[in-house]
Amino acid sequence: MEDVKMLIEREIDALKEDIIASTIRLIKVRSVEDEPQEGMPFGKGVNDALVFCEELCRKLGFETKNFDGYALEARFGNQNEDVCVIGHLDIVPEGEGWSVPPYEGVIKDGKIYGRGAIDDKGPSIAALYGMYVVKKLAEEGKISLDRSLRFVFGTNEESGSKCLQYYFKKAKYPTVGFTPDADFPVIQGEKGFLVFELSKNVYGNFYLEGGERLNMVPDSCIFSGDFDLQKAKEIISKKNLEAKAEVYEQDGRGVIKTKGVSAHGSLPFKGENAISYMFDILQDLYEREDEFKRFIEFYNKHIGYDIFGKGLNIAFEDQKSGKLVLNAGMVKKFDDKVVLTVNIRYPVETVYEEIEKEILNVIKDYDVDYKLITDMPPLYFEEDHFLIKTLLDVYKEFTGDDGRPLVIGGGTYARWAKNVVAFGPNMPGDEEVAHQKDEYIAVDRLLMCAKIYANAIYRLAKKD
């Protein structure tokens, strides 16, 4: 095993410049979901990233197949069983406040900066080159494989994973595999992923919009209407929100813009919610006793700055996975209706019906409507499962860390692909930069991941 490990490390070191260059090239593609076009179900940007990866996979000697723009498959070998790695090419919008251009792949202080650098373009490139090294060593007769190799690039992980749902209607599920889209040592479980809308019919000539994606802590929210600008400034000052809100006049109307801090929706405690800042201000500013006032009161009493669901009576938790977390991700006024989109990650021992029951009980007093958008039940592997044990062993060989498997709030492709778990790239203690400004991956981490992933692929491809 040690000889193979050394072979892999030498091969990866020799590919260092190629790995860095491919990562930067992929970051340069703004693969944010956009309007669909023919053969491009998630827009041109996402498809451009898919096309680049298809060209790269062919260059690396893989057989490729494009699944109608939903996913790209790269293969090596013809065994009945396989090892599958699944990465995603789509990214969340860049947001505001970057100190470097978000789509240039700038290298500074040993880090590659750019949207998607850590989530999930850098890790996907690392894993692809890791699989390439295993393929190359097998072709040269230096190692033997009992399972074939498959790499899948998805295109819609950030917005519901419709890509994998489409792909697995046409392709078989993996025998075993991983997605490089979370944390080390290894992810044995993922909390339930719930999205719902809370809406209320409102009347009044005002504008309200905040948030760009349901799985991002919103860093901006705007309210526009007829109100006293001086009073708004006094309220903001009283609440010590001067750094979080600005007030100005535009086209004869008052405008309030609140500024939060973006973070991944599964980690709302890492960010600051601009929508919550806005509703806090509106609580004292909005004076009309109408339906919108009732919605403001509902938000502040039952959501507000709470990220654990206490106000909605859904603060569930368990020993396996910890606490439920809540992110009020988007709000918008549509004609005569205000709609709030909420994303919840719930513990592995909680069931959706318990959550729905408590929410419905709370909102009935406010005439707020509930609409389920998505519910993905929790995922959980026992610690003695072959896949968990193998990946944990590989991680320990490289790091010497005796860390235990984790359960996370983030949802990955593992939910849609049987026999797959999330594995890296974040190490214990890393700064959380996914979905945030100045996202990056360290060059050293990129190369270490390639080595870890190559060894994991090799180990999983052996039956003994």
Mean pLDDT, residues 313-335 taken together = 96
- Secondary structure letter of residue 140 according to DSSP: T
pLDDT tops 80 at residue 12: yes
The tens digit of pLDDT for each residue in 26-81 reads: 999 999 999 999 999 999 999 999 999 999 999 999 999 999 999 999 999 999 99
Catalytic, out of 157, 158, 219, 272: 157
- The one-character DSSP state at 253 is E
Of residues 423, 275, 407, 272, the one with CA closest to residue 345: 407
The model's confidence at residue 464, banded by pLDDT at 50, 70 and 90, is: confident
Q: Considering only CA atoms, which of 112, 111, 260 is closest in space to residue 103?
A: 112
Token couple for 456: 């994991």
Query: Do 110 and 163 share a structural domain?
Result: yes
Task: Work out the pLDDT band at 453, boundaries 50, 70, 90.
Answer: very high
Length, in residues, of the chain = 464
Between 325 and 432, residue with greater pLDDT? 325
CATH number at residue 44: 3.40.630.10
Distance CA 42, CA 163 (A): 9
Give CA–CA dist 336/359, Å, rounded: 23
pLDDT tens column, 248-289: 999 999 999 999 999 888 889 999 999 999 999 999 999 888
Number of domains into which the chain is organized: 2
Q: 441: which DSSP letter?
A: E
Q: What is the mean pLDDT of residues 388-417?
A: 93
Which residue range forms the structural domain that includes residue 294?
192-376
Same domain, 176 and 196: no
Q: What is the pLDDT of residue 411?
A: 81
**Residues 272 and 148 placed together within one structural domain of the fold:** no
Q: Could you read off the pLDDT of 299-320 as tens digits, one per residue? A: 999 999 999 999 999 999 999 9
| Domain-ending residue, one of 333, 356, 376 | 376
- What DSSP letter does each residue of 10-55 carry, written as one string? HHHHHTHHHHHHHHHHHHTS--B----BTTBTT-HHHHHHHHHHHH
* Predicted TM-score of the model (pTM): 0.79
- Contact in structure between 200 and 337 (CB atoms under 8 Å): yes
Domain boundary among 376, 399, 423: 376
Q: Per-residue pLDDT averaged across 340-352, rounded?
A: 96
Mean of the per-residue pLDDT values for the chain? 96
Instruction: Let me know: does 272 contact 437? Beta carbons within 8 Å.
Output: no
Q: Which long-range contacts (CB under 8 A, 24 or more apart) does 51-58 make?
A: 52/25, 52/26, 53/26, 53/89, 53/128, 53/153, 56/22, 56/128, 57/128, 57/151
The residue from 353, 376, 399 where one domain ends is: 376
**Does residue 184 share a domain with residue 197?**
no
Whether residue 231 is predicted with pLDDT greater than 80 in this model: the reply is yes
User: Do 248 and 353 fall within a single domain?
Assistant: yes
Based on the fold, state whether residues 183 and 201 are members of the same structural domain.
no
Give pLDDT tens digits for 146-175: 999 999 999 999 988 999 999 999 999 999
Report the percentage of the chain scoring pLDDT > 90.
91
Quickly state the pLDDT bin for 204 (edges 50, 70, 90): confident
178-203 per-position pLDDT tens digit: 999 999 999 999 999 999 999 999 98
pLDDT value, residue 264: 85
Looking at the structure, tell me whether residues 165 and 116 fall in a common domain.
yes
Confidence band of 214 (pLDDT split at 50, 70, 90): confident
The crossing angle, in degrees rounded to 10, of helices 291-302 and 352-363 is: 130
CATH number of the domain enclosing 208: 3.30.70.360
Whether 393 is catalytic: no
* Catalytic hit among 33, 90, 209, 280: 90
CA atoms within 13 A on the CB side of 179: 30
- Please give the DSSP secondary-structure letter assigned to residue 261: B
Q: Are residues 156 and 275 in the same domain?
A: no
Residues 68 and 185 reside in one and the same domain:
yes
**Pairwise CA distance, residues 464 & 462, whole Å:** 6
Mean pLDDT for 201-213 is: 93
pLDDT band at 2 (very low <50, low <70, confident <90, very high): low
Average pLDDT in the 441-446 region?
98
CA distance 160 to 326: 17
Active site residue 33: no
Confidence of residue 409 (pLDDT cuts 50, 70, 90): confident
More confident call, 450 vs 464? 450
Shared domain check, 360 and 431: no
What's residue 410's pLDDT?
Answer: 77
Q: Residue 1: is its pLDDT beyond 60?
A: no
Task: Judge contact between 85 and 131, C-beta under 8 A.
Answer: yes
* Judgement on whether residues 222 and 359 belong to the same structural domain of the protein: yes
Instruction: Tell me the three state secondary structure of residue 288.
Output: coil
358 shares its domain with 263: yes
